[in-house]
């Protein structure tokens, strides 16, 4: 297992060499630096091959000090560099092999570089639950929590619109700043109100019998959505006294 330099998780807080920790104890250690981490997240990182804890005969996970250090490094690379888990795993594996590799530079950095723009999904695209978990690199427990706060909602047949990947990725990114899902209820409520306002304008056109009028309604909805997003962004920037590029 990889040993990371001193500082952050492991600087006196992790288990001593040879001492094994339960997953609950590991959670307590990691939360000193990563308050948003959950047991589901640790299990997800294990399932993705980022850490390999030992197992007792009864099947319980036991983590070494090296395991805790590696988990801390993975979480730090996600938070500080917004790196995908695949990239992190490949980087750490290369380091463990003794290869001289540089940390990839992707997405948000500490110097304030912007987050990567999520790819746009084609209109009407749908995604299954397992696909959403994989695409957003989140665990089942995280998705259930976000659903409980109304941030993501599956359709009647259990699938999601493809925009759910963007929402999940951004919720995860905000978590890196200590913003929890419960804090995002206000943003969800504001989005619902804005959508309701647009719907009031285009609803009469959507109910029209003329197909061209209904098509015009969809075009008008997109136009109004774009305007409301610009207004929302301008209002937030004005309230914070910042200017985004």
CATH of the domain at 6: 1.10.1660.10
Q: Which residue has the higher pLDDT, 86 or 20?
A: 20
Q: pTM of the predicted model, to two decimals? A: 0.50
Ranges 29-33, 109-113, 205-209, most confident: 29-33
SS3 call for 178: coil
Contact between 118 and 166 (Cβ < 8 Å): yes
Per the structure, the complete domain to which residue 231 belongs is given by 185-245
What's the structural domain count of the chain?
A: 3
195 found inside a domain: yes
Residue 130 domain-assigned (yes or no): yes
Query: Same structural domain for residues 127 and 212?
Result: no
- Cα torsion through 66, 69, 75, 77, rounded to 10: -100
pLDDT at 110 over 50: no
Residues ≥6 apart with Cβ < 8 Å to 72:
4, 8, 9, 10, 14, 30, 33, 34
Within this chain, do residues 92 and 1 fall inside the same structural domain, yes or no?
yes
Strand (E) or helix (H) holding 116:
none
Residues 228 and 198 in one domain: yes
Segment 45-99, tens digit of pLDDT? 898 889 999 999 888 999 999 999 999 999 988 877 767 788 888 888 888 888 8
* Structural domain includes residue 49: yes
Q: How confident is the model at residue 38 (pLDDT cuts 50, 70, 90)?
A: confident
Domain identity same for 126 and 96: no
Name the band, by pLDDT with cuts 50, 70 and 90, for residue 29.
very high
Return the pLDDT at 121.
47
Residues with Cβ within 8 Å of 190's Cβ and at least 6 positions away in sequence, in order, are 232
Residue-level pLDDT at 245 = 64
Whether residue 232 has pLDDT greater than 90: no
Is 114 within the bounds of a domain? no
Is the predicted pLDDT of residue 116 greater than 50, yes or no?
A: no
Measured distance CA(3)–CA(102) in Å, rounded: 17
Which of 78, 107, 136 marks a domain boundary?
A: 107
pLDDT classification of 210: cutoffs 50, 70, 90: confident
Helix (DSSP H) and strand (DSSP E) numbers for the chain: 9, 4
Which two structure tokens, joined as six digits, stand for 137? 């690199």
């Amino acid at each position: 297992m990889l040993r990371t330099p001193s500082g952050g998780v492991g600087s006196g807080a992790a288990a001593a060499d040879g001492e094994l920790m339960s997953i609950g104890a590991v959670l307590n250690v990691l939360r000193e630096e990563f308050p948003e981490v959950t047991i589901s997240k640790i299990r997800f990182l294990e399932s993705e091959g980022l850490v390999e804890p030992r197992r007792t005969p009864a099947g319980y996970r036991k983590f070494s000090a090296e395991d805790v250090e590696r988990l801390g490094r993975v979480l730090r690379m996600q938070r500080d560099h917004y790196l995908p888990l695949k990239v992190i795993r490949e980087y750490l594996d290369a380091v463990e092999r003794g290869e001289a590799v540089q940390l990839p530079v992707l997405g948000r950095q500490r110097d304030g570089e912007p987050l990567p723009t999520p790819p746009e999904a084609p209109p009407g695209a749908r995604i299954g639950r397992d696909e959403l978990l994989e695409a957003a690199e989140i665990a089942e427990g995280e998705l259930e929590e976000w659903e409980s706060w109304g941030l993501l909602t599956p359709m009647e047949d259990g699938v999601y619109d493809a925009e759910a990947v963007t929402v999940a990725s951004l919720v995860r990114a905000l978590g890196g700043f200590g913003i929890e899902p419960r804090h995002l209820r206000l943003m969800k409520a504001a989005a619902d109100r804005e959508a309701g306002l647009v719907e009031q304008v285009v609803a009469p056109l959507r109910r029209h019998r003329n197909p061209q009028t209904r098509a015009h309604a969809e075009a008008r909805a997109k136009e109004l959505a774009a305007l409301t997003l610009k207004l929302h962004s301008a209002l937030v920037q004005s309230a914070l006294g910042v200017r985004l590029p």
